Structures are given as structure tokens and as C-alpha cells.
């Protein structure tokens, strides 16, 4: 085992392999694009071959994805693509309306110029992702809008609670919200921002609770492909897209298909 790990580390050094952040980005995109069917096993050996990195590096990425609730990691069984529960949406969005109504109500009178500028820049980034048709980035930035609001309260307890609730809804949005709703999300975030800029507590609370309720009502089961593409094909496509957008910093690109689809 030790010899195998040493060889993998040597291979990474020689080839300029993907780092953990890049492997995470590729897997997260494939998951949030809904391209990996629920329940698919994400074997360490298989992923290590796809990305040309050590199993230890893959294991760290899988644990991070598990912490972010993008996958499930089961002791003695491995990692699996998560199966979002649409029935959970009502409970989670109710909790978010209660918490985030309080957050924006507080910020309506506490938001400073720096915080307002931070939100304005973030909404501009959301609109740019929408214009580019980048669903993955749009979902990520949409989630970040809410965690930024929590961060602006300066309260670490609120920040942790918000991160937990946002993590619970990211896969719900990825799987069940129509692609066409990206524009709605941006417009609704801008409405919250305008209310905060106007220092109107009532309008900010109303804009936020309306936004979260609309997101919840837009969640609908999707019609899935009868035969999803092989996992290695999905990941190679995601990896190629990542390289296109991030340059040639990460090499290797194994030409052969891994010997097994699970470990």
C-alpha cells in the first residue's frame, strides 16, 4: 500500500496533476449539473485514475464534498452521489425563511457602505454568470449571496446555521429547479438588495421571504435520461470544461478508460 501511495505522489509531481481544489471543482460541477445519477458510487480508485492523482487526494476531496452535502459518505461503504429529497424542501425552506427574514431585517438598519458594495459586486457576478449560461456558477453564486448576507451580520453562529441550511438546499436546486429560473433568482436577489439599500426593514423581509417561497415552488422533479452516460464520460467532459476555463495548469489526461467503474 505504501509503495502504491509513493508511486502516486511521484506521478503527481512528474505530471503536474490536478490539485485538490481542481478535483473538487470538477466533481462539484458534475454533481450540481445533475449529470451524476443519484446513488452512483464514487470509488476512490476509479476517481484517482480519472484525475491522475493519489487515492489520498481523492479521499480528501470526497470528505469535503460530503461535508458540503453534495455527496454522502458512508462508513465501510464509500461515497455516493446524493439523492435529494424533494419532501425535505418544505421544512428546510421554512427554516430559511425564519432565519433569513431575521438576517435581512437586521441588515436593513446595520448594513454599512462596504457591505453594500460587496453585495453589489456579487449580484453583478451573478448576472454575468446568467448571461453566460453557466448554470453551475449561477447555482454556486446564488448560494453565496445568502451566506454573504449571514457573514455581514458578523455573528459566527448565524453564519454556521446559514451554511448548513444552504448546503441542504444546493442539491435540491440543482436537481429540481428548472434551468430557466436563473433569471428569476437574479431578479429576486436584486429586489432584496434594493430593499437593503433603501434601509427598509419591512421591504427587505418581504423580498427575502417571497424569494425563498418562489424558489420552493419552482422545485419540480426532472425527467431523467433513460440511460445516463458512463461516469467516466461525464467526468472527462467536466474535466475538459474545467481545463478550457482554467488553462493548461493541470495535466494529465489519461487516454485509456479506467479498468473498473467502482472500487
Task: Calculate the alpha carbon distances from 34 to 38, 96, 145, 178, 193 in Å.
Answer: 9, 23, 21, 12, 29
Domain boundaries, given as residue ranges, for the chain: 2-83+225-246, 86-218
Contact 186, 123 (CB under 8 A): yes
How many angstroms separate the CA atoms of 65 and 61, rounded? 6
The two domains 2-83+225-246 and 86-218 share their CATH topology (first three levels equal): no
Q: Is the domain 86-218 a CATH 1.20.120.530 member?
A: yes
Q: Is the domain 2-83+225-246 a CATH 1.10.10.10 member?
A: yes
Contact 115, 71 (CB under 8 A): no
Gyration radius of the chain over CA positions: 20
Surface-to-core class of residue 128, CB atoms within 10 Å of its CB (0-12 exposed, 13-18 middle, 19+ buried): middle
Per the structure block, which three cell numbers stand in for 160? 454556521
pLDDT tens per residue across all 263 residues of the chain? 444 444 444 444 343 468 999 999 999 989 888 788 888 999 999 999 999 999 999 999 999 999 988 899 998 899 999 877 888 888 999 999 999 999 999 999 999 999 999 999 999 999 999 999 888 889 899 999 999 999 999 999 999 999 989 988 888 888 888 777 778 899 999 999 999 999 999 999 999 999 999 999 999 876 655 677 899 999 999 899 888 888 654 444 443 343 333 33
Amino acid at each position: 500500500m505504501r509503495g502504491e501511495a509513493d508511486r502516486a505522489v511521484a506521478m503527481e509531481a512528474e505530471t503536474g496533476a490536478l490539485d485538490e481544489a481542481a478535483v473538487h471543482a470538477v466533481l462539484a460541477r458534475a454533481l450540481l449539473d445533475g449529470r451524476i445519477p443519484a446513488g452512483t458510487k464514487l470509488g476512490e480508485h476509479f476517481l484517482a485514475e480519472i484525475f491522475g492523482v493519489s487515492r489520498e487526494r481523492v479521499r480528501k476531496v470526497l470528505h469535503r464534498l460530503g461535508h458540503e452535502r453534495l455527496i454522502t459518505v458512508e462508513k465501510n461503504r464509500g461515497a455516493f452521489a446524493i439523492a435529494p429529497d424533494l419532501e425535505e424542501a418544505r421544512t428546510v425552506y421554512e427554516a430559511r425563511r425564519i432565519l433569513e427574514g431575521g438576517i435581512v431585517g437586521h441588515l436593513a438598519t446595520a448594513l454599512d457602505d462596504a457591505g453594500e458594495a460587496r453585495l453589489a459586486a456579487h449580484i453583478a457576478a451573478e448576472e454575468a454568470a446568467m448571461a453566460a449560461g453557466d448554470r453551475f456558477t449561477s447555482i454556486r453564486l446564488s448560494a453565496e449571496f445568502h451566506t454573504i448576507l449571514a457573514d455581514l451580520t458578523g455573528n459566527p453562529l448565524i453564519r454556521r446555521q446559514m451554511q448548513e441550511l444552504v448546503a441542504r438546499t444546493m442539491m435540491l436546486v440543482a436537481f429540481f429547479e428548472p434551468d430557466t429560473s436563473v433569471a428569476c433568482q437574479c431578479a429576486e436577489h436584486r429586489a432584496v438588495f434594493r430593499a437593503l439599500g433603501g434601509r427598509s426593514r419591512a421591504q427587505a423581509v418581504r423580498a427575502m421571504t417571497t424569494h425563498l417561497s418562489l424558489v420552493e415552488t419552482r422545485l419540480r422533479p426532472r425527467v431523467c435520461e433513460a440511460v445516463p452516460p458512463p461516469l467516466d464520460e461525464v467526468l472527462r467532459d467536466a474535466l475538459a470544461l474545467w481545463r478550457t476555463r482554467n488553462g493548461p495548469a493541470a495535466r494529465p489526461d489519461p487516454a485509456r478508460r479506467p479498468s473498473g467503474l467502482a472500487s
